[in-house]
Structure 1
Amino acid sequence: MGFYHDDVILMTTFPDAAPAGWMFYVKPFNWHVYLLLGCCLLLMTVVLSIMDITFVRENARCPLTGEKKTGLAFIASWTWKAFEALFGGLIGRAVAHEAVSRSGRVLLWAWMLMCLVTVAAYTGKLTSNSVVTKQPVPFNSLSELVQRTDYRWGLAKGTLEEHTFATSNLSDYRQYYERAERTGEEPVSELLAGNFVQVTSAAFYRVQKQVNCRMAVVKERLYQDTFAIHLQKDSPYTALFNQVLARATEQGLLDYLKREWFPQESSCQDNETRVMPVSVELVKTAFIIAALGVLAAAVVLILERLIKGGITL
């Protein structure tokens, strides 16, 4: 007579939720948004430059400095000022350039208003991304698992689970068995390494869940194992054991022993949220951007000196 039943399950770990490295700063917007912002920046630069250059030429001199300017250097200078003002607003920087034409000022105000909304949306999304919600396991059944190539899986050597999969006629079981790695009965290190699945008992999962909240179970239960006391065939003690086990079940003794000695449900919450700690790996992208900015500034400085003939190499 069976005295205990336990599910055989697919055990894995929750996938990482937060993007690593520079992707953390790119994720807030879809790539279409970045493309649209880049196109708008270039278009607005051209339009603002044309407005201000036309206004200065019509008035024969710059209303800010009182100087008359013409030629390619004049056009390049005003184009750069327009780009600097528009790009500065896009990254939340105060605009130093003031448009000289009324139409240019209106255009600049509209751009700053758009930048205000865009920067607020980006900042809010970046903040929300730092609050990590555990991601669900990306498959719900054995049939979905065997179709994936980004996961490995295992079977404990010499166990009943290995024998069941080896002798099964089900195609999903056969695919799992043929590609499965042979592991020990408690492959904790393989599971914690990520992207690994193990066929095991629900009892093993409950034990490990008490230690590590990263442990997860796939929604589908494969089958049930029955635990029983095995005696010799036609043993005279079979009826006695069945009678005692039946009485212990009716009186609730087996349930009491299970509550007393078996691992209970973990206190982990699968939908738990937490604030992601800021690590060096995460913020190194910001330092790389700063270093590239210093390099770009040095290149611009050298080009300015070379153009003006003020540097000797």
Structure 2
Amino acid sequence: MTDHTSLLALWVATRVFGTSLWVFDLVFFLRMLLFIKAAMKENPITMMASWTAALVIVVEKYKTRDTSPERREYTSRGVSVLLYVTTVLLFSFYTCNLISALTVGKVSPPFTDLKGMYESRTHTFGFFKGSAMEEYFRTANDGLYRNIWNDMVKPNYDILKKDIDENIDMVMAGDHVSLEVRPLLLKEYYHCGLMILPGLYFWKIMTWPMAPDLPVFPIINHHMYALAENGVYDKLHRKWYPRDLDCETTDMKALSFPSVCTAFIVLLAALLLASICMVVEIIAYRKFNYD
């Protein structure tokens, strides 16, 4: 069936790092630089300073300020306000990231096995036409497989194809599930747009032509099943049929929850400190302004 996880990751990243938010940050930063540049024109010493130098001079002046009447200048108060607003902006930005990380999760498939597919009826179902799978579903004694054939496959028999390429195209085109041979699918047709549902159906490790009364048959059968149950067969299978695409690596990903939470806590502390500094600055300004 179709995998929408990669599309969801792209949507989350677009939501978190929206274009409008970046434009707002850029405009706000440019306004801050223009304000500082304009403020520097009041000081002849820094008249010819570049924007970067002006920013450094104002910040250093703000850090080394004293309680003289020069404290009443608008430059220092403007820098205080801008630093405070910048902290609030960053805090709001990472708060949006945190909310996104908490509320937006991965898309889960509507079902995880054949029984869930039959009960949900949200997808059509098919397999290789004229294969042993068709015969198995047609003559199945099991209720689930017989019901799938009677209710899902038989009324839509025309969707069964004799070409695996057509089956994959149907899966990618819409809500369709195709039962395929796993080794062949992984080797020739798998890509990141497909989702392989967990579960084993009609699994045969290998066909061994031998006489039915051969003494070694139970031994070989036992060890082949043991290899499958212990995971050795799947490990060798992944080695023999590697996937050409790494579906875990994407060009753009949203921030993970730990990184967002860490930034949120740090910026929360910075916001509290900035708020305290602003209160102290207002009290000090009023005291020296009216004394």
TM-score, normalised by the number of residues in structure 2:
0.42
Q: Report the structure, 1 or 2, having the larger strand content.
A: 1
Task: Name the one with the larger helix percent.
Answer: 2
